[in-house]
Amino acid sequence: MSMNKKIGMISSGVNFIAIICFAISMLFGFDYGSYFFSMFIAFSFVAMICGYAYYAEKQVKLAGCVSVAFSVIYAAIILLVYFAQLTTVRLNELTQQAAILLDFQQCGLLFNYDLLGYGVMSLAALFAGLTIQSQTKMDKGLKYLLMVHGVFFISCLIIPMLGVFKADSPTWIGIAVLEFWCLYFCPISILSFLHFSNHKE
């Protein structure tokens, strides 16, 4: 088995595990755990998307490059947001104004950046879906899931501008939305693992 295939498979597996751990952390209200595992969702997602770009046929190579570019933008935003939560926010006593901006739970600046990051992730998934040449039912399902995931871009971009989420918003709403996302994306991780494992060099 080539290193290229191994990287695709391993990154898909890590992505799946990180999403499961993220979902469990949210259910138990372990915020810092969800922040930590979100970073590994980002790490593994970039590697997984690079796998799609690498295996893309010549006629869809540009879509693969675009998906990689968007995945890197997503990861940069997400890593900045969650690393700040695990370091600056967790380890320091912030002033009220600083907390409004930096504390994720306050639904301020970094919360809005987080939504922007996941919106860009949706675009990366959309373009990754364009690289798949549907040969099997499994690949067709994977392509469909990736491309439909692109729809999340619209809501992630618009919601912060509308100020839908506030610090006093019911917590369960945000958790329910993210748990739904986990249920949606887990099959993508699994199918990606199978996609790379079945890919011919």
CB 64 within 8 A of CB 52: yes
- Tell me the C-alpha distance between 189 and 119, whole Å: 18
pLDDT at residue number 17: 98
Q: How far apart are CA 141 and CA 159, in angstroms?
A: 28
pLDDT digits (tens, 9 = 90+) for 120-170: 999 999 999 999 987 789 999 999 999 999 999 998 899 888 877 776 667
Backbone angles phi, psi at 168, to 5 degrees: -95, 10
Whether the per-residue pLDDT at 201 is higher than 90: the answer is no
Rounded to whole angstroms, the Cα distance separating 174 from 93 reads 25
How many domains are there within the chain? 1
Measured in whole angstroms, how far is the alpha carbon of residue 179 from the centre of its chain? 13
Tens-place pLDDT, residues 90-116 = 998 888 888 888 898 888 899 999 999
The domain of 194 spans 3-198
